[in-house]
Amino acid sequence: MASFTCRDCGASFTLSQSLLEQYPGWTPRQCRSCRSGSGARTETESTSGADPDTGVFTDGGASPNPGPGGWGAVYVRDGAIVAEVHGAEPDTTNNRMELTALIEALKLVPEGTAATVYSDSNLAVRTITEWAAGWEKRGWRRKSGQVENLDLVRRAYNGFRGRPELNLQWIKAHASSRWNEYADALANRWRDGE
């Protein structure tokens, strides 16, 4: 067992050596409680004033909502593009495209490689980091009824839960973040027929 200190709450936590061997070079930054949402970053603790140049940046949207839409994700290291993907749907919603972008972002980062995934959808980030664990415990139901976009919520939640080396974080939209704007442009390529 190896001991670590959570960067969010300051608590000490341990991980088995076998888990650490699965992810060579990975240093965990959060305890299980913070990763599952009880200590997750909120909008006010986001990167709203920063312009990161390393990570995976995602965006998605529909216009009108619902209507035709697209999603995009770009993986960047030290300001250089490592990989990018984008896609579109003829009849969708903003939330479905944001969740799809996050699911596709998981495929861009090699397993075992630590990275931060940024989304400008606070709803999508909070869905995965705060609410999905409770919905799963209730049989994928909200206290007030059905979980919207359940197919994508489950895929995104399970995807991030299975990748402990990835951190999901909200970033403010259209706040001069170069790579968030790039992801937005990828998400809107459907408008140009790409």
Q: Give the residue numbers annotated as catalytic, written as ranges.
A: 59-60, 98, 120, 174, 184
Question: How many residues are given for the chain?
Answer: 194
Number of Cβ within a 10 Å radius of residue 107: 13
How far CA 17 is from CA of 14, 23, 27, 69, 112, in Å, comes to 9, 10, 12, 44, 14
For strands 115-119 and 55-62, give the pairing. parallel
User: Is the CB of residue 56 less than 8 Å from the CB of residue 115?
Assistant: yes
Number of Cβ within a 10 Å radius of residue 42: 12
Instruction: Return the bridge partners of 69, or none.
Output: 62, 89
Can you tell me whether residue 128 is helix, strand or coil?
Answer: helix
φ and ψ of 110, to 5 deg: -55, 140
